[in-house]
Amino acid sequence: MFIRALSLRDFRSWEHAELELSPGRTVFLGSNGNGKTNLLEAIGYLATLGSHRVAADAPLIRMGADKARIGASVVNTGRELRIDVELNQGTANRAQINRSPARRTREILGILQTVLFAPEDLALVRGDPGERRRFMDELCTARLPRLAAVRSDYDRVLRQRSALLKSAGRQARSKADLGTLDVWDGHLATHASVLLTYRLRLVHDLYPYLAQSYAAIAPESRPATIGYRSASLPPEFLDPAREPAPDDTEALEAIMLRELAAARPKELERGVCLVGPHRDELDLNLGAAPAKGFASHGESWSFALALRLGAFELLRATGSEPVLLLDDVFAELDRRRRTALAAVAAGAEQVLITAAVPEDVPAELAAAPLRVETSGGPDGRTSRIAEPVPPPS
Ligand SMILES: Nc1ncnc2c1ncn2[C@@H]1O[C@H](COP(=O)(O)OP(=O)(O)OP(=O)(O)O)[C@@H](O)[C@H]1O
Ligand SMILES: [Mg+2]
């Protein structure tokens, strides 16, 4: 797939931007702070309904504005769809598909698929488990957009059940409280089992692509492996080589119910929900050691890169080809890793690259760059796209 047109209004530093894009490579060139990453962040938002840089939407709305708009025309196997999202300060966000209002913003998920490489990716390896859960869940949702509804149902039930655990834990427990808790256990297990099914499938499917990507980037290093980590699942479910079975969801639901019942006394005592996919994570290993805490800086970068490359290869092998977004990544990489990434990028249907200086873009990916500039505007810092600059001779 590729993005044919992108329009922004009051998104980050962009008061207004209209861009015509084509398949192949586009390089956004501009000095620091000129709004290059903001462009990729906006595109990433259309694909995931979230930013790779911030957890909340408020910073995405241009300072002084009360709403931001992002729109794109996406061409997938010859068919063009227009998607638009409006981010509102204080009220719910809204979305449109082909200019008609969508009932929920998440209905646009799946229309645009992206894989974004960014300097923030080091947190995939070095950061909290939440980073790796987000990686898994965003990738699961890219493969199966209806999982967004499951994730949102799970989060809602988790919040309500946690509130009940807190209050039931504090007061003398009534029979009614415990009965209500049983009902919430049922809801939690239902949504958890679906989410777990797809996370386990993802780890199983991603595993070979990840191992291969890592070996290509860092052939001298120990082999990279991944595994699903969960204190509540039996070990056989956690083996990435295990073939997913058609009745996994029912089996996982039964396991969740059993684990919730066993954890009940401890949960009431502590007032938190101790069982479920919100406690799980993705293990990243180099040889026999966990990457987190053991991997060198270079190995951590290679692992993060291999996770993204693996995700890209997996999506393109099993669905439609995602748009590749490369945010300032080449400057961080040594020659071998630049070459490995450039080789994948060179074969992608559409690649959007940001760089501060043209020398940061490998020769294989050189394209006539679009210069991003800041100018004018009430804050004196509104970004704009200037004329394409001629390719370096
Ligand atoms: N909500 C906002 N309203 C107005 N400006 C914003 C907002 N959020 C971020 N900015 C501005 O956007 C600019 C950062 O843009 P961006 O991160 O896209 O830069 P960049 O071109 O990628 O720079 P670098 O080369 O350093 O990565 C900063 O100047 C910042 O002040
Ligand atoms: Mg940037």
pLDDT, one tens digit for every residue, the chain (393 residues)? 999 999 999 999 999 999 999 999 999 998 898 999 999 999 999 999 999 999 999 999 999 999 999 999 999 999 999 999 999 998 999 999 999 999 999 999 999 999 999 999 999 999 999 999 999 999 999 999 999 999 999 999 999 999 988 887 666 567 667 788 899 999 999 999 999 999 999 999 999 999 999 998 888 889 999 999 999 999 999 999 999 999 999 999 999 999 999 999 999 889 899 999 999 999 999 999 999 989 999 899 999 999 999 999 999 998 889 999 999 988 878 888 888 889 888 889 999 999 988 888 888 887 777 777 766 555 656 677 766 555 555
Ligand nearest to the CA of 60: 1
Q: Are 240 and 225 in contact (CB under 8 A)?
A: yes
Tokens at residue 166, please? 């807190």
Between CA 340 and CA 287 the distance in angstroms is 21
Pairing of strands 79-88, 382-388: unpaired
Query: Which phi and psi (to 5°) does residue 386 adopt?
Result: -90, 180
Atom of ligand 1 nearest to the CA of 328: 27
- Report the separation in Å between the CA atom of 276 and the middle of ligand 2, taken as the mean of its atom positions: 36
- Sign, CA dihedral 221-222-226-232, equals negative
Alpha-carbon gap, residue 135 to 282, rounded angstroms:
9
* Domain pair 1-113+321-393 / 123-319, same fold: no
Ligand 1: which atom is nearest the Cα of residue 31? 25
Beta strand 2-11 pairing with 14-20 = antiparallel
Q: In this structure, which ligand is nearest to the CA of 35?
A: 1
Gap between the Cα atoms of 75 and 181, Å rounded: 47
pLDDT computed for residue 170 by the predictor? 65
Q: Are 142 and 317 a contacting pair, CB within 8 Å?
A: no
pLDDT for 149 equals 97
Superfamily of domain 123-319: RecF/RecN/SMC, N-terminal domain (1.20.1050.90)
Distance CA 246, CA 231 (A): 23
Nearest to 316 by CA among 148, 140, 47, 114: 114
By alpha-carbon position, which residue is closest to atom 13 of ligand 1?
33
- The CB density around residue 157, as the number of other CB atoms within 10 Å, is 21
- Which ligand 1 atom sits closest to the C-alpha of 354? 22
Looking at ligand 1, which residue's alpha carbon is closest to its atom 25? 32
Q: How far, in Å, from the CA of 246 to the mean position of ligand 2?
A: 43
Q: Where are the domains of the chain?
A: 1-113+321-393, 123-319
CA–centroid distance, 36 to ligand 2, in Å, is 6
- Centroid of ligand 2 to alpha carbon of 371 (angstroms): 13
Would you say the C-alpha torsion 145, 149, 150, 155 has a positive or negative sign?
positive
Residue nearest to atom 8 of ligand 1 (CA): 12
Q: What is the pLDDT of residue 380?
A: 55
Task: Give me the helix-helix angle, 129-143 and 36-48, nearest 10°.
Answer: 60
Strands, sheet with 94-97, edge to edge from the N-terminal-most edge strand: 14-20, 2-11, 67-76, 79-88, 94-97, 100-101
- pLDDT at site 381: 66
pLDDT for the residue numbered 330: 87
- Cα 340 to averaged position of ligand 1 atoms, centre (Å): 29
Q: For position 387, what pLDDT does the model report?
A: 62
- Residues with CB under 6 Å of ligand 1 are 12-13, 30, 32-38, 59, 61-63, 328, 354, 356
Residue located nearest, by CA, to atom 11 of ligand 1: 13
Give burial (CB, 10 Å; 0-12/13-18/19+) of 89.
exposed
- Predicted pLDDT of residue 390: 55
* Closest Cα to atom 3 of ligand 1: 62
Contact in structure between 195 and 151 (CB atoms under 8 Å): yes
Instruction: Let me know: does 71 contact 6? Beta carbons within 8 Å.
Output: yes
> In Å, how far are 9, 86, 154 from 65, measured between CA atoms?
10, 12, 33
1-113+321-393 domain in CATH 3.40.50.300?
Answer: yes
For the chain, give the longest Cα–Cα distance.
78
12 Cα–ligand 1 center, Å: 7
> Residue 257 C-alpha to ligand 2 middle, in angstroms?
45
The ligand 1 atom nearest the CA atom of 53:
17
**Amino acid 191: pLDDT:** 98
* Ligand 1 mean position, distance from CA 38 (Å): 6
Which of the ligands is closest to the CA of residue 31?
Answer: 1
* Residues 364, 346: Cα–Cα separation, whole Å: 7
